[in-house]
Amino acid sequence: MNCSSRLTGLLFWTTTVAFGQSVYSIADMFKPRATPADSIFNVSILMLAICAAIFVVVGGLLTFTIVRFRRRKVDDNREPAQVYGSTRIEIAWTVIPVLIVLALGMATARSVVEVQNKRIPADALKVTVIGHQWWWEFRYPELGIVTANELHVPLSTTTKSTVTALTLESADVAHSFWVPQLAGKMDLIPGVTTSMWIDPRQQGIFLGNCAEYCGMQHANMLLRVVVEPAADFEKWVDAQKMDAASDPRLESARTTFLSLNCINCHAVRGTIAKGTFGPDLSHLMSRATLGAGMIPNTVENLRAWLKDPQTIKHGNLMPNMQLNSRELDEIVKYLSSLK
Ligand code: CUA
């Protein structure tokens, strides 16, 4: 990746508004916007408060001792009074820490139970999250939608609480799904199914990250959760359910795409492309990023990606397809029509 595209990427990630939506970065982790995140926030504030109090007491006593019992004269070599054995002090410094640990343990257990024992309502939106090196697949089994890297979920309001139930799996190695403002981390383990839930009450785009080292591009396994009002979510669902656009003017571009090896790894709804190894491309241009959040999804970047994905995201599993310039033009033309 060259310097200017790195800079574009940086600007892209520090921007706070995209597509007219507010973007909430990972740095906003102390502003929870869903119930599981509230629970974690509350317990962490309690921990911080208790630890701060311990710090103040210990630091205060230490400072007091240093000042109070300092050597006052250069030739004063007398030892201060020594204390040998005090049952009261022994009891105090055993009992107080035990009580503190007990209180912290109970607060944590309460929070864990609150999040993990939640009864998922029958009408919850179900999404299967599949971790891949290094991108996210989102499947909505009841809606028949497959997308990548951007999870769309409906907004939960005070009048109607809307829960999204996530089932997490891995296609290869261990990953971890983490969107700090919505919930805690949940691992995606090969051969094991885990679950979590969210009920976001703020509209906008929430940024997240893979939080378990999963190989070379772990740091670039980014994700976004797009929280939108029910009506907008329905609109998005309807658009995703449609077959991929097929503009008759792009017939030759489409034919070129379908004649290449792209279709062994990628699916495009309503065509013979049914690969499942890479992200579904049916509505590629409805997504904001390429390479799992690495670069903005513009026609220019799409072209650069197709020309050589390895220079943008080194080590990713999409090989350089060695497209000639005609093929490159045609594929860019076709893919950028998939709204
Ligand atoms: Cu996936 Cu780290």
- Which CATH architecture fits 125-227? Sandwich (2.60)
Distance (angstroms) between ligand 1 centre and the Cα of 146 equals 20
Enumerate the domain spans of the chain: 35-70+85-116, 125-227, 248-335
Are 125-227 and 248-335 equal in CATH topology?
yes
Q: Are strands 289-290 and 222-228 parallel, antiparallel or unpaired?
A: unpaired
For residue 203, give the nearest of 253, 164, 153 by alpha carbon: 153
Report the distance separating Cα 245 and Cα 338, nearest Å. Answer: 6
Residues having CB closer than 6 A to ligand 1 are 131, 134, 175, 210, 212-214, 218, 221
In 3D space, the residue among 182, 181, 187 whose CA is nearest the CA of residue 211 turns out to be 187
How remote is the CA of residue 18 from the centroid of ligand 1, in Å? Answer: 25
DSSP 79: P
- Could you identify the atom of ligand 1 that is nearest to the CA of residue 134? 1
Alpha helices for 117-250 (secondary structure H): 230-241
What's the gap in Å between 195 CA and the centre of ligand 1? 17
220 CA distance to ligand 1 middle (Å): 8
Superfamily of chain region 248-335? Cupredoxins -  blue copper proteins (2.60.40.420)
d(CA 204, CA 307): 32
133 alpha carbon – ligand 1 mean position (Å): 7
Instruction: Tell which residue, 96, 36, 26, has the closest CA to residue 44.
Output: 36
pLDDT 10s per residue in the chain (339 long)? 444 444 444 445 544 555 567 888 887 888 999 999 999 999 999 999 999 999 999 999 999 999 988 888 877 787 777 888 889 989 998 999 999 999 999 999 999 999 999 999 999 999 999 999 999 999 999 999 999 999 999 999 999 899 999 999 999 999 999 999 999 999 999 999 999 999 999 999 999 999 999 999 999 999 999 999 999 999 999 999 999 888 888 999 999 999 999 999 999 999 999 999 999 999 999 999 999 999 999 999 999 999 999 999 999 999 998 999 999 999 999 999 999
Nearest ligand 1 atom, CA 221: 1
Nearest CA to ligand 1 atom 1: 175
